[in-house]
Amino acid sequence: MVPRQSTTLLTIVVFVVLLLVIFSSSPKPESLHEGISAAAQYVPKFPSLNDFHLPTFHPPAHKPPDPQEDSSSGDSKWFSNLAWLNPFSSSITLDESRSVLPPLPERPYIFTYYNPKKDNTRDVDDADAQLLLAWRRAWYAQGFRPAVLGRGEAMASPLYESVQHLELNPELEEGIFKWLAWSHMGDGLLADWRCFPMARYDDATLSYLRRGTEPDRIIRFNRANSALFSGGKTAISGAIETAVKKIDKSAKNFVDLIPEDLFQFQQTSSLAFYDSATIAANYPGLSEKTATPAAVDRLALVELINSHLQTTFQNSFPGGIVVLKPHAEHTTALVEPALRLARALGQCPHSIAPSSCPPNRPNCHPCDAHKLMQISQPATYKNNTQVYTIGTLPHPYTLISLLQNSVEVTARYIRRETGRDGWLREVTGQHLDHKLGGGTRAVVLKKAVADEPAIGTSIWMTVESLPAEAGQALPSSLLDEFEWQLGFKIPRDSNVDAKNEGDTKESMQHANPSKQGVGREYEIMKQARGVLKTQTNRPSIQAVAEAWNLADTEVWRFVKAYRARSIVERKKWEEAEKDFLGARPKK
């Protein structure tokens, strides 16, 4: 029998449970709601952070993914995007160290065909490789993707079966195989390996060719020769099929078998074609060397073409070369490597015909050793296409150290004794209102570096990538890179190329003296680099300098990333072409 106390307790528990079930399932009366609302009017409200709408309290945001390949090199990182003219890259990338760069322009293919002769000596093949290398470099600098084709590409063409059993003379076979190789590759340009672009980057013909080919027709430049064609795969294949049907024993030139109505002819003065007839007519000094070995002739031709490319560069900028030098009393050492480069570009190139002109520009102004290109060192940048600009950007901490004449810089000194964005304000001082902020100035300089109209008119680099000792010549690797941007080999001697400087070093401080001395400037720059390379977990003076000079830091990173990306792009192309003729020889 259950005790009385237990029965009572059990009854109470059941009763409470029933009450909870009933009240939880039934709707609350409206009067209760009204009572609560009325009472709530007398409850004091305490403000929360959300009520203040503070702009600094935002929820954390994820960084956008980085789907782009090859978007970093060393400590430089970039993101290619159409919004590259945003004043500050971090507003797009959410990464302070990643710069937004303009998308890489599409490089249209330009092909040439080379088939070494069986009786060539090793020296002749090496000389031909030098000419092909010069051909690659010149077209790459003009924004194209050069590629050397051979019999392998010709035999891979579906049309090869229609000609492989024909009896052809060597000249006709060479022409057919050239077009078969072109048809195998598809749309693009086909150039003779002795055809060079000899004009400014913004030349009308070269700009037209960079926009791509027209798929339904073949354009033939300069009716009298076969130096350059542009066409689509369908039109190329149709022209080959038509010409093959007309082959007979008397045929010698394959292009002559193609009906003229399949071509659209265009005249241009932007191409220099160094065929045998042109050399004999214009450069007797070279044609007289026919009695010498073929390798010597070819190397002399390479030297002649290189001199013409440099002469074209010098004629393209009648206003001379500008080496930007803001804060002139403190930056002689900072710009000295750029000044060495400028003097090298203004030198007269070596050639078998030093006073000659390119065949497409017979009325050029040959280089005169007594009247070299003018070199100026203004503090401000001018948007002038008649001058070639060389700009060197220092890290904000490096510039502050030079202006103070010491690397012992404190955060207090930076905030109280220095203005913001000192380099940009000096460089853009004459063209922008002094009231404008650093963001606007950063956009102006970005356009000067990477905007399409500015390509081919300037070279930009960071000070930290240049030599850090007084009188030291430029690194060979840096000159190699500049040559692929300029399109010709830069004259190198002890004052330009570090590889040739030997034990003596020449300083240019007497040509452009500084109050504190070039030696002291170099010492400060060297010490500043050591500070910039130091990694600490605590906030560094480098971070303070960058935070105080946001726009200067932005353009410094932009230029650094822009140059790094161009190197990555070229090396990737060279890697793809390394097994083909005319690739750069390994050192």
Q: Quote the percentage of the chain above a pLDDT of 90.
A: 60
The yes-or-no verdict on residue 553 having pLDDT over 90 is: yes
246, 275, 290: which is the final residue of a domain?
290
Q: Provide the total of helices (H) and of strands (E) in the chain, helices listed first.
A: 21, 15
Query: How many C-beta neighbours within 10 Å does residue 509 have?
Result: 18
CA 132/CA 140 separation, integer angstroms = 12
- The least confident of 290-294, 324-328, 529-533 is 290-294
Across the range 357-386, mean pLDDT stands at 93
CA 99/CA 88 separation, integer angstroms = 8
Same domain? For 334 and 260 the reply is: no
Query: How many C-beta neighbours within 10 Å does residue 579 have?
Result: 7
Across the range 346-355, mean pLDDT stands at 89
Same domain? For 232 and 346 the reply is: no
CA 150/CA 170 separation, integer angstroms = 15
The answer to whether residue 258 sits within a structural domain is yes
The yes-or-no verdict on residue 143 having pLDDT over 90 is: yes
The answer to whether residue 173 sits within a structural domain is yes
The answer to whether residue 185 sits within a structural domain is yes
Per the structure, the count of domains in the chain is 2
Same domain? For 258 and 371 the reply is: no
Across the range 165-175, mean pLDDT stands at 86
CA 467/CA 474 separation, integer angstroms = 6
Same domain? For 271 and 328 the reply is: no
The yes-or-no verdict on residue 509 having pLDDT over 50 is: no
pLDDT per residue as tens digits for the range 190-206:
999 999 999 999 999 99
Instruction: Count Cα neighbours of 124 within 13 Å in the Cβ-side half-sphere.
Output: 10
Q: Residue 133: which CATH number?
A: 3.90.550
- DSSP label at residue 585: P
pTM exceeding 0.75: yes
Same domain? For 336 and 243 the reply is: no
Across the range 101-126, mean pLDDT stands at 92
Same domain? For 152 and 233 the reply is: yes
Same domain? For 207 and 335 the reply is: no
CA 101/CA 558 separation, integer angstroms = 7
Instruction: Count Cα neighbours of 274 within 13 Å in the Cβ-side half-sphere.
Output: 27
Same domain? For 275 and 322 the reply is: no
Give the list of residues 6+ apart from residue 78 with CB closer than 8 angstroms, or none. 71, 72, 98, 99, 100, 101, 561, 562, 564, 565
Across the range 487-512, mean pLDDT stands at 59
Same domain? For 414 and 455 the reply is: yes
As a residue count, the chain comes to 587
The answer to whether residue 164 sits within a structural domain is yes
271, 290, 309: which is the final residue of a domain?
290
Rounded to 10°, the helix 476-486/122-141 angle is 70
pLDDT per residue as tens digits for the range 237-246:
999 999 998 8
- The least confident of 75-79, 129-133, 146-150, 166-170 is 166-170
b/e sequence 404-420, b meaning 16+ C-beta within 10 Å: beebebeeeebeeebeb
Amino acid at 171: E
Same domain? For 436 and 485 the reply is: yes
Range of the domain at 226: 109-290
pLDDT at residue 431, as a whole number: 77
Rounded to 10°, the helix 170-185/233-244 angle is 150
pLDDT band at 47 (very low <50, low <70, confident <90, very high): very low
Question: Which residues on adjacent β-strands are paired with residue 271?
Answer: 197
The yes-or-no verdict on residue 78 having pLDDT over 70 is: yes
Helix H or strand E segment including 241: helix 233-244
Same domain? For 135 and 251 the reply is: yes
pLDDT at residue 220, as a whole number: 95
CA 168/CA 92 separation, integer angstroms = 61
- Report which listed range, 44-48, 56-60, 538-542, is most confident: 538-542
Same domain? For 251 and 330 the reply is: no
pLDDT per residue as tens digits for the range 399-454:
999 999 999 999 999 999 999 999 999 999 877 888 888 999 999 999 999 999 99
CA 96/CA 205 separation, integer angstroms = 41
The answer to whether residue 43 sits within a structural domain is no
Of the candidates 83, 124, 121, the residue with the CA atom closest to the CA atom of residue 101: 83
Q: Using DSSP, state whether 230 is helix, strand or coil.
A: strand
Distances (CA, A) of 141 to 349, 439, 489: 19, 31, 12
249, 272, 290: which is the final residue of a domain?
290
pLDDT band at 52 (very low <50, low <70, confident <90, very high): very low
The answer to whether residue 70 sits within a structural domain is no
Are 123 and 295 in contact, with CB atoms under 8 Å apart?
yes
Residue 130 backbone zone (phi > 0: left; psi -120 to 50: alpha; other: beta): alpha
Across the range 347-375, mean pLDDT stands at 92
Across the range 39-51, mean pLDDT stands at 45
The answer to whether residue 81 sits within a structural domain is no
b/e sequence 264-301, b meaning 16+ C-beta within 10 Å: eeeebebbbbbeeebbeebbeebeebeeeebbebbbbb
Is 224 or 194 the better-scoring residue by pLDDT?
194
CA 224/CA 229 separation, integer angstroms = 13
- DSSP label at residue 272: E
280: tokens are: 């004999």
360: tokens are: 């497409």
pLDDT per residue as tens digits for the range 248-267:
777 788 999 999 999 999 99
The answer to whether residue 26 sits within a structural domain is no
